[in-house]
Homo-oligomer: A and B are copies of this chain.
Amino acid sequence: MLLFFFIIYSQDEIDDAVKLLLSLKVTYKTATGQEYKADSPPTDFTPISNSPDNVEGDDFVDPWTVQTSNAKGVDYDKLIVRFGSSKIDKDLINRIERITGHKPHHFLRRGIFFSHRDMNQILDAYEQKKPFYLYTGRGPSSEAMHVGHLIPFMFTKWLQETFNVPLVIQMTDDEKYLWKDLTIEKAYQYAIENIKDIIACGFDINKTFIFSDFSYMGTSLGFYKNIVKVQKHVTFNQVKGIFGFTDSDCIGKISFPAIQAAPSFSSSFPEIFNNRKDIQCLIPCAIDQDPYFRMTRDVAPRIGFPKPALLHSVFFPALQGAQTKMSASDPNSSIFLTDTPKQIKTKINKHAFSGGKDTVEEHRQYGGNCDVDVSYMYLTFFLEDDDRLEQIKQAYTSGALLTGELKKVLIETLQPLIAAHQQRRKQITDEMVKEFMTPRKLAFDY
């Protein structure tokens, strides 16, 4: 057909069309990181860089850096638009409640898990009694974990109990070795210490597999194969676009995204899933990890695997305020899981950024600002009682509740929570760690 119409064009028109086509191909390559091929539809792969055009206000979000100049924290509505994910809305939360018969976790009710990809697919599968599994992880950059690190695990535990599904937890000790000034031995040791804190969150040993990359790689017949499959289908151009890697980065960093991608595929765990490769995965994580899984979702259909679904959480603020970077090397930037009741009290009283007014008189008159008050923010994470939280908000906003009193509520919430964690952690034996870390059949049949 084309030839038929061709003859009615002049040579100039043809030249112009060819030029346009060539320029479109260049545009296509710039946008997708892939060469244009006729009859080959573009994948749904969307590289989202943090280049000035893409940074909303002063927010910057990638797996290594989260920055905002706003005391209320990152603008998550804008992040959803930028990342192309979906908001967890009332309808979705209601559906979860309806089909599981469980009251939605307060992280859902309060928008702490606020964004998702394909969660409705997971719920469809659940309704149809099709299996799925959970995957989350942690980069063990130090021995010390703080309360913010508990968020994904507390929520994952709830998901596991609510849906009764297997869970895999990846400790990226290889990532930490590549990115930090750490030996492999140290990174692995951190992984083991962190695993004890994770187990202390209360995961079911019969339904949970926890692995360090360094140790699992040498015992799994499925993991490395899936890593190489992903690595064959992602170019340097693509990871450059997604993660901002440069030519000076080591080849370990450049290929690492495939290692975080691979646990999204059930065949990475042949012992658990009986070599099935069709079991979908749901990943609860902080939204800074989304770039890894955007990449994973792009690759999945091309290597014959289902795309993982995602549930994204907001970031946990530093004691000093949402615009401050939390740092494991600064013990005052958060409450650590090893803190004593006295340390918790002192840290909160001394360092927790307050939305209160400068004097008691002013505070009584104008009230405090919960949107920027870190003690209040922390309570939204850890105080489960919705009514009490609402009372506190009203009282603080009206000025009836003083900053010192608000801090006291937080202290009295965190002290027993952390003491109980420490009690549970003490009971974790090396044998339990070993059992959690053994590739094995879990309490599910496939």
Chain A: residues with CB nearer than 8 A to chain B? 35, 174, 177-178, 184, 214-215, 217-225, 228-229, 231-237, 239-240, 245-252, 254-255, 257-258
Most B Cβ at <10 Å: residue of A233, A237, A240, A245: A237
Asked if A255 contacts B231 (CB within 8 A), the reply is: yes
For the complex, what is the distance from the CA of A444 to the CA of B237, rounded to whole Å?
Answer: 47
Asked if A236 contacts B248 (CB within 8 A), the reply is: yes
With a CB–CB cut-off of 8 A, which chain B residues contact A219? 218-219
By Cβ-Cβ distance, the 9 closest A-B pairs, closest first, are: A231-B252, A255-B255, A217-B224, A218-B221, A251-B255, A237-B247, A236-B247, A232-B252, A231-B251
With A214-B224, A221-B218, A255-B251 already in contact, the answer to whether A232 and B177 are too (CB < 8 A) is yes
Asked if A251 contacts B252 (CB within 8 A), the reply is: no
> Across the two chains, which residue of chain B brings its CB closest to A184?
B225
With a CB–CB cut-off of 8 A, which chain B residues contact A250? 231-236
Give the residue of B178, B221, B222 whose beta carbon is less than 8 angstroms from that of A228. Answer: B178
Q: A235-B249, A236-B254, A251-B257 are in contact. List 19 more A-B contacts (CB 8 A).
A: A174-B224, A174-B228, A217-B224, A218-B220, A218-B221, A231-B251, A231-B255, A232-B250, A232-B252, A233-B250, A235-B247, A235-B248, A236-B248, A236-B249, A236-B251, A239-B251, A251-B258, A252-B255, A255-B255
For the complex, what is the distance from the CA of A250 to the CA of B227, rounded to whole Å?
Answer: 12
Asked if B235 contacts A178 (CB within 8 A), the reply is: no
With A231-B251, A231-B252, A254-B254 already in contact, the answer to whether A225 and B236 are too (CB < 8 A) is no
Min CB distance A167 to B, Å, is 22
Asked if B35 contacts A229 (CB within 8 A), the reply is: no
> Across the two chains, which residue of chain B brings its CB closest to A240?
B247
Min CB distance A42 to B, Å, is 15
With a CB–CB cut-off of 8 A, which chain B residues contact A184? 225, 228-229
Most B Cβ at <10 Å: residue of A215, A228, A247: A228
With a CB–CB cut-off of 8 A, which chain B residues contact A252? 228, 231-232, 255, 258
With a CB–CB cut-off of 8 A, which chain B residues contact A247? 235-237, 240
Asked if A177 contacts B228 (CB within 8 A), the reply is: yes
Asked if A234 contacts B215 (CB within 8 A), the reply is: no
With a CB–CB cut-off of 8 A, which chain B residues contact A174? 224, 228
> Across the two chains, which residue of chain B brings its CB closest to A188?
B225
For the complex, what is the distance from the CA of A185 to the CA of B442, rounded to whole Å?
Answer: 27
For the complex, what is the distance from the CA of A217 to the CA of B251, rounded to whole Å?
Answer: 18
